[in-house]
Structure formats: structure tokens, C-alpha cells
Amino acid sequence: MADPSSSPQLFNVQIDGVWHQFPKGTRVIEACAQFGVYVPRYCYHKKLSSPGNCRMCLIEMGFPRLGPDGKAELGADGKPITNWIPRPQISCAQDVSEGMAVRTNSPLVRECQRGVMEFLLINHPLDCPICDQAGECRLQEFSVDFGESKSRFLENKVKKPKNVQIGPRVTLDDERCILCSRCIRFCQEIAHDDVLGFVDRGSYTVLTAHPGKLLENNYSLNTVDICPVGALTSTDFRFKMRVWFLKETKSICTSCATGCNTVIGSREDVIYRQTPRENDHVNSCWMCDYGRLNFKHLEAENRLLEPQIRFEGKLIPADWPTAIAQAALQLKQFSGPEIAIIASGRMTNEELWLTSQLAKLLGVQWIDIVPRRGPSDNILLSRDRNPNTNGTRLILGSGSEPGAKLMAITDAVKSGQIKALVILKENTMHMGIPGEQLVQLPVFIALNVLQNEATEKATVVLPACGFAEKRGSMVNGKGRLQRLNRAVRAPGNAHDDWETLRDLLQAIGGGDSLSSIEDVFRQISETVPQFAGLSLSKIGDLGVHILQIDELAPIHPSDEEAIEQAIAIQARRRVVRQQIHHA
């Protein structure tokens, strides 16, 4: 039986004449929203503190009338009689209490809303037609819903700074700022970088960065999301596209193991922006700037657009059936111990599953992924910069930690023990295998998004899709299975990676009855216990928790050493590349 002491205390609260029950601690503004009564707000954000400074959420509020015995007096309906507070109250900083009553649409409330809108618009510039926030501007929307159609203001508007580069990624238009302080509180409370503040208090109050500081933390673009007006805009996105033209696709960020939930905004196969999507199990309402802007490579000039095969020493374009047939033919020349597969922690579960089937069919033991690490920030950014390391643990499940065999594979390639190398979504040049060594390989099959020094040496090149060009699933660092979705079509003749791997598998003699990505997922769910009973559609938009992190075996010290060694080689290669680039 449920312990009654564990259930939250419920309060009876009247909203616009109807009684409801809410748990103790519910904000009045949230209580109203739960029953479809939207109270307009500017400064209130449910994930930040409530300073109550914009006054847009004013309502009428009352409490039970108490009799001489100190108990609430009851009306004919058996409910408490309300003593209304004569002045309006803000609803964003007050929790519900027993017998509380609120009115959200009375003549007084509507008058308050009109008054607040009139004050807010006094100094606001009339540049809505050219403002980048149009389509998502709360000032425009509330002006229509709660404001007046004409202004009584005859004096000159206060002029404030425009087009201020307040940080490397954020542009500030102070004239539009309504001084709600959301951006200031975000930086203090979430990003832990107290960089913004109001100065020159009075009619000339402006938002600015503290002297000698910039809004340059890795979460700066979240201030653009939460700014209710067009004061803070993304320097990258502004003036590129009207938001109502954007197609919105729910997906996840694949730039680290956190897997922040996102909305990809695209039009005609071009991605214009990524914004965070609320998921309290993963990223709350936020995402980092690094992940948010990490989509430009999908339009890079060095995208691989056509399959290619090596013929008389040169890579020449080929159609897909020819390229797949060539790859299969080349791989079949060698036995399992002579073949290595380097997969990627950036691949989806479905792609990893097909890779594991390919390895099984060819008898390959040399299979691993490339580990990728960077500093964590204790906010969202994970130390593991691969989005699906846990997927590789579950699906490739090779008995050692992902990345631990990589150096051994590299050594086997260098020693000539490996004759055929398949590299999927990774660059061998980062792993310490020099170009001269790659040229010596009789078979070198590369599946990748971008052309690089390694793909140039391949015997077969298979163009791949980027994270926003395909469907699939991944398991984040905390064990949550999540879906990524296709926002744009891949350019040229690049194929969805799961199809390429399925075709290769079938050309070698396996992979029967796989006609859709759902079929691949079904095979995973029938084989990997953590996926049992799930399907791509059952994962849902917010994901499902499938793995307790303590279920994972602790990393063996020798694995850790091998992984660190592989990462160190990548880092050294990166430095050398940068030096060459700058020279």
C-alpha cells in the first residue's frame, strides 16, 4: 500500500470560479497553465528564479475569509468564502495555498495587462518588420492579445545602442530590451558566468556585459532562446531566414554523450539553426553553443557526393551497385583475421548492429571504435564526445571498453597483419596510421561524410549521411535511448548509412529480410536484452531509459590506458594538422 505520508499535500484552489487541486509548492502561474489558463509573462521562466519585475502576470488573488474561530467561513456551495486583495498580484512568484482564489480575466486584470503593455511599448522601436524575432516575439504576440491598437505616447522615444556585439555569437539590440533580466539570471544560475547586468538605472537603463567581459560562455546562445523579444539574437542565424519558413524536426545533438534534445530548423534541405527541446531527463531547456552550431560541416565543400572505386591507381566515380559489389568482392578475398573494422561512436545503433553482423559474417575479430574525449563542464557538455559510446558497448559488446583495441588494430595495420581495413565515419589519419601505410593496404574501404587525406587513399569510397540527414537511435551517456530524425536530404548521391551497410552485408551473403530501418531495430530488440520490447516508434520524442550506468562493468585499467593512448595520438595529429594549416 502507498505510504500516505509520501504523497504531496494537495491544496484546493479556485481559478476563474472553478475549484481544482494542486500539490503544495505549485506556482500560481503554473497552476493556471495546468488547466489551460495562460497567464502572459515576460520575466518568468520556469527553470530560473522569479524576480517578478515585468508585472505582465498580474492577476486578482484572494484568500479564505476567517471566522471568529479562525476557521475559513464556508459559502452555500460548501467552499470557502474569498476575501479578495484590493490590489492586483503577480502570479509568477507566489505558490498556491489552501482556499486561494485567483481571477485571470477580470476587468481589473485586463486593465493591468493593457497598462503594462503600454509601458513596455513606450520606448520600444517600431522595427517589427525588420526584426529577426518576428514570428517568435512575445511583445508582438501580447501586444495583439492584451495591448491597445494605438499609442498615447507623444514624446520622443529613448534611443539606446543597437547592433552591439555582446559576445562572439550573440548580438544585442538594447532598444528592444524590456529589462526582464532572464538573460542575466540564466548566466548567473545556469551557465555560472555572471557576465551580464543592467547599468544606468532609470529611463536609460541598458543591458550590458560587465566591464572587460563578453558573453562568450559555451551556453551564450540560450539567452537568445529565452529573450522574449528581439533584443538578443544569434549572430549566426540573424537575417538568414524568417522563422515561419523553417521546417522543425525533433532530433538530438550528436556532438557529445549528453544527447541534448533539439529542434532542427531547416528549409529546402538547408539547416539554418538548432535550438534546444525541453527534456528534463537530459538537458532541461538548454544546449551548449558547441553542439548547437555543429552542423556547418554538412554543407562543406569537401562533402563526399558519389561512391568511388579505385581503378588503375585513381579513384573514379561509380554507381552504388558497382561500388557495393566492388567492396564485397574485395573483402571476400581475405579471411577474418586479416580484416579490421574501425567503426564510430557517432554511428547509430542500427548502423552499429549492421556493422556487427558484417563482422560476424566475415569472421572479423579486429573491431573497435575511435574514442573521443574533451573536458566536461559539469553543466551539460560530457567528457565523452562520442554520442553513442553506450550503444557500441551494448551492440558491439566486444568484452573490452570501446576504444581499447584501437592501438592494437593500428599496430596490426602497420605490421601488415591486416590486409583489409574498413573504416566507418572516422579518419584513420587521426589514429597514427600514416598515409604511406594506407596506400600499402590491398583493401581499404572508407565510408564517410567528408573527403579527407584517408578517403583519398581508399580502394572504395562510400559517401555517408550526416546526423541530420538520417533516422536512427543512440544511447546517451546516462543510458537513455533516444531517436534522431531526418531534417534534410543528403546532398548528391550519398545514401543513408544503414542502407549502405545493409547492401554491403547482403552483397557478402547476409542481411536477409532487412527492408527498413524498423526491421534493423527489430533485430536489435530481439537480440540485445536492453532493447527488448522496444521499437523506434516506442522510443518516443523524449527517449526511454534502458541502461543503469552501474550495470556497466567498470573500466579495466589496461583498457583505460589503451583508450588514453589512442586519444593522445589523435590529439597529437590534430596539433600537427593545425600547425601545417597555419604555416
Contacts of 552 (CB under 8 A, 6+ apart): 390, 393
Q: Does 178 bind ligand SF4 (CB under 6 A)?
A: yes
User: Closest approach of Cβ 249 to ligand SF4, in Å?
Assistant: 16
Taking the C-alpha atoms of residue 264 and residue 273, their distance in angstroms, rounded to an integer, is 6
H helices present in 404-496, as ranges: 406-415, 435-440
The residue among 113 and 283 lying less far from ligand FES, judged by its C-beta, is 113
**Residue 495 contacts residue 361 (beta carbons within 8 Å):** no
Judged by CB under 6 A, the chain residues 374 through 413 that form the site for ligand SF4 are: 380-382
What is the b/e burial string over 275-289, where b = at least 16 CB atoms within 10 angstroms of the residue's CB?
A: bbbebeebbbbbbbb
The residue among 22 and 44 lying less far from ligand FES, judged by its C-beta, is 44
Considering only 146, 290, 320, 334, the residue that binds ligand SF4 (CB under 6 A) is 290
Partner interacting with residue 440 (select from ligand SF4, ligand FES, none; CB below 5-8 Å by kind): none
Torsion of CA 48, 51, 55, 56, to 10 degrees: 0
User: Closest approach of Cβ 516 to ligand SF4, in Å?
Assistant: 27
Torsion of CA 217, 220, 221, 222, to 10 degrees: 120
Considering only 177, 342, 367, 566, the residue that binds ligand SF4 (CB under 6 A) is 177
Q: Does 288 bind ligand SF4 (CB under 6 A)?
A: yes
Partner interacting with residue 56 (select from ligand SF4, ligand FES, none; CB below 5-8 Å by kind): ligand FES
**Residue 329 contacts residue 460 (beta carbons within 8 Å):** no
Nearest 5°: phi and psi at 398?
-95, 5
Task: Write out the residues near ligand FES by the rule CB under 6 A.
Answer: 41-44, 52-57, 90, 92
Q: Which residue is nearest to ligand SF4 (CB)?
A: 291
Nearest 5°: phi and psi at 256?
-160, 180
The residue among 229 and 318 lying less far from ligand SF4, judged by its C-beta, is 229
Residue identified by cell 527517449 is 543
Considering only 179, 243, 408, 555, the residue that binds ligand SF4 (CB under 6 A) is 179
CB atoms within 10 A of CB 63: 16
User: Is residue 339 within a helix (H) or strand (E), and if so which, with residue range?
Assistant: strand 339-343
- Binding footprint of ligand SF4, residue count (CB under 6 A): 28
Taking the C-alpha atoms of residue 326 and residue 320, their distance in angstroms, rounded to an integer, is 10
Binding characters for ligand SF4, 196-235, by CB under 6 A (x = yes): -----------x-------------------xxx-xx---
Q: Does 92 bind ligand SF4 (CB under 6 A)?
A: no
Q: Does 259 bind ligand SF4 (CB under 6 A)?
A: yes
Q: Which of 325, 356, 329, 323 is nearest to 341 (CA)?
A: 356
User: Closest approach of Cβ 45 to ligand FES, in Å?
Assistant: 9
Partner interacting with residue 187 (select from ligand SF4, ligand FES, none; CB below 5-8 Å by kind): none
The residue among 89 and 106 lying less far from ligand FES, judged by its C-beta, is 89
List interacting residues with ligand SF4 (CB under 6 A). Answer: 177-183, 207, 227-229, 231-232, 253, 255-256, 258-260, 283, 287-288, 290-292, 380-382
